[in-house]
Amino acid sequence: MRPLFALAAPAFLLAFAGCNTSQAPAASAAAASTGNDASTATPSTDSGSTANDDPSATVAYPNADAACASGIDLTGFWGLAATGLGDERTSKLCQYAGNVVLVVNVASKCGYTPQYEGLQAIYAKYAKQGFTILGFPCNQFGSQEPGDAGNIREVCTGTYHVTFPIFEKVDVNGSTTDPVFAWLKSQPGGSGDIGWNFTKFLVGRDGKLVARWASQIEPENAAVTGDIEAALAVAR
């Protein structure tokens, strides 16, 4: 692995939870960056969807129970779980096994909050190819996510029209670190406390950490999209 962090329904209709957890069950629902690393990705020939498309009509994640019983390794990333935004339902991350996943700690009142636009754009572009984004609100940085689930939903859905899964508010540093972020920070290339909101972790189809980027690296940065395309090019 190249250096990553240089001091980064029927049930089949679990397409996404977005910020509006009433749409589907909740689940469907790094400090220095590697942003100037050269990407070896082969550009995708799949035109995907545009940022104005709604992937929900065409993208369906596997049935969570079936996916999680398919013999995949549940000792790592796929063995983790998250809580749906405002509904307290547990979502097993193993339902995303075989997909490429970008995990981001988000906030509603941050200077980087407009990155929701770029995140939604790359989600819409790559979702049909097996890509998703999992957003985790966090209030640890400047108290920039002080609201409840309704406030968070109003920003990400009402203002930024986000359709990728957003989960319950978590901590990403310290003794109360959520297990998802504890695992991400324990991986080669992912170590070190998170410095601010909108730190990004890319997980490949095999459930292994691919890259970590700092807050200031935009979602549509060529390093990010290059690594996403390279990860998507790997056979399921």
For residue 201, the model assigns a pLDDT of: 98
Which amino acid appears at position 157 of this protein? T
Separation of alpha carbons 33 and 101, rounded Å:
18
- How far apart are alpha carbons 219 and 198 in whole angstroms? 9
Number of structural domains the chain divides into:
1
Is 110 catalytic? The answer is yes
Residue 92 lies in a domain: yes
Q: What is the pLDDT of residue 65?
A: 66
Query: Does 2 reside within a domain?
Result: no
Instruction: Flag whether 3 is in a domain.
Output: no
Cβ atoms of 218 and 194 within 8 Å: the answer is: no
**φ, ψ dihedrals at 3, nearest 5°:** -60, 135
* Residue 95's CATH number: 3.40.30.10
In a domain, 6, yes or no: no
Task: Name the amino acid, one letter, at 97.
Answer: A
In-domain check, residue 189: yes
Parent domain of 66: 11-232
In a domain, 208, yes or no: yes
Predicted pLDDT at 19: 54
Q: Per the residue annotation, which of 19, 68, 94, 110 is the catalytic one?
A: 110
CA distances 172 to 13, 92, 106, 157, 192, Å, are 30, 19, 11, 23, 11
Q: Tell me if 99 is assigned to some domain.
A: yes
The whole-model pTM stands at 0.77
pLDDT average per 10 residues of sequence, the chain (236 residues): 39 38 31 34 34 42 64 90 92 94 98 98 98 98 98 96 97 98 97 97 97 98 98 93
